[in-house]
């Protein structure tokens, strides 16, 4: 697609439920990032995928968080047993390979846990 | 260790005046530097980047940034601010050996009419 696409754009869920957030990167981009941003705050790195390499999961805050990337394209971030502190916007970004390459962000998935 | 500092949480500028949003960095290798803007309830939008070459980089919406190696800075500038420039601005750095972008905490820019 023309840009990074994320769905849902907004999600309200009850505490304890599982949620899945989807990211469709720019076509041809091999690198994919997930970040979390609390309201008006900075970016918290969650996970990084690069091609067929093992992902860098070092930013996942707990074992309730997991992510996968199927076929080197679409990625899903799953949060199990959601807690109120999980409320945030989850941003996905993608880029082509290369340190100088720009990463492009989606509009984010706004998660509210009630 | 790599790091990025945006020393100002908020910058207030009158419309029509020049603006500067500061960024300093620390990396072990050659830096790749980026600026992004985030409007309310939106994702981050790329503004400009420095990879190599001319120290003055021009980007979207009339913004520019100057790479200063001796001061390890990459300040964002615009000659004449618009109210519509009001947003959250993020500086980020990566060195050539690392895929990770290190992000600053962000600076809220408020342009007053």
Mean pLDDT for the stretch of residues A48-71? 93
Nearest to A107 among B42, B51, B97 (CB): B42
- B15 at interface of A, judged by CB pairs closer than 8 A: no
Residues of chain B with C-beta less than 8 angstroms from the C-beta of A41 = 105-106
Nearest to A99 among B46, B94, B105 (CB): B94
pLDDT band at A1 (very low <50, low <70, confident <90, very high): low
pLDDT band at A41 (very low <50, low <70, confident <90, very high): confident
Compute the C-alpha angle A50/A51/A54, nearest 5°: 65
Residues of chain B with C-beta less than 8 angstroms from the C-beta of A42 = 90, 103-106
Question: Which tens digit of pLDDT belongs to each residue from B65-91?
Answer: 999 999 999 999 999 999 999 999 999
Per 3-state DSSP, what percentage of chain B is helix, strand, and coil (rounded to 5)?
A: 5, 55, 40
How far, in Å, CA of A94 to CA of A29, rounded? 6
Residues A21-43 as b/e (b if ≥16 CB within 10 A, e otherwise) read bebbbbeebbbbbbbbbeeeeeb
Residues sharing a CB contact under 8 Å with residue B54, sequence separation 6 or more, in sequence order: none
């Amino acid at each position: 697609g023309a840009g990074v696409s994320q769905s849902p754009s907004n999600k309200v869920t009850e505490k304890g439920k599982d949620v899945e957030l989807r990211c469709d990167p720019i076509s041809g981009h091999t690198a994919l990032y997930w970040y979390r941003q609390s309201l008006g705050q900075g970016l918290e790195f969650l996970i990084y995928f690069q091609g067929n390499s093992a992902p860098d999961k070092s930013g996942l805050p707990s074992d309730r968080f997991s992510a996968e990337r199927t076929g080197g394209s679409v990625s899903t971030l799953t949060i199990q047993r959601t807690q109120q502190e999980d409320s945030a916007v989850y941003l996905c970004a993608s880029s082509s390979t290369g340190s100088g390459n720009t990463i492009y962000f989606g509009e984010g998935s706004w998660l509210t846990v009630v | 260790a790599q790091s990025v500092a945006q020393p100002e949480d908020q910058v207030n500028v009158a419309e029509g005046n020049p603006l500067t949003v500061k960024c300093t960095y620390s990396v072990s290798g050659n830096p790749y530097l980026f600026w992004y803007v985030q409007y309310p309830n939106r994702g981050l939008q790329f503004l400009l980047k420095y990879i190599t070459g001319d120290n003055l980089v021009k980007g979207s919406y009339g913004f520019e940034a100057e790479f200063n190696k001796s001061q390890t800075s990459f300040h964002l500038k615009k000659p004449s601010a618009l109210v519509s420039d009001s947003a959250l601005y993020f500086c980020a750095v990566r060195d050539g050996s690392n895929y990770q972008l290190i992000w600053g905490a962000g600076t809220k820019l408020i342009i007053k009419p």
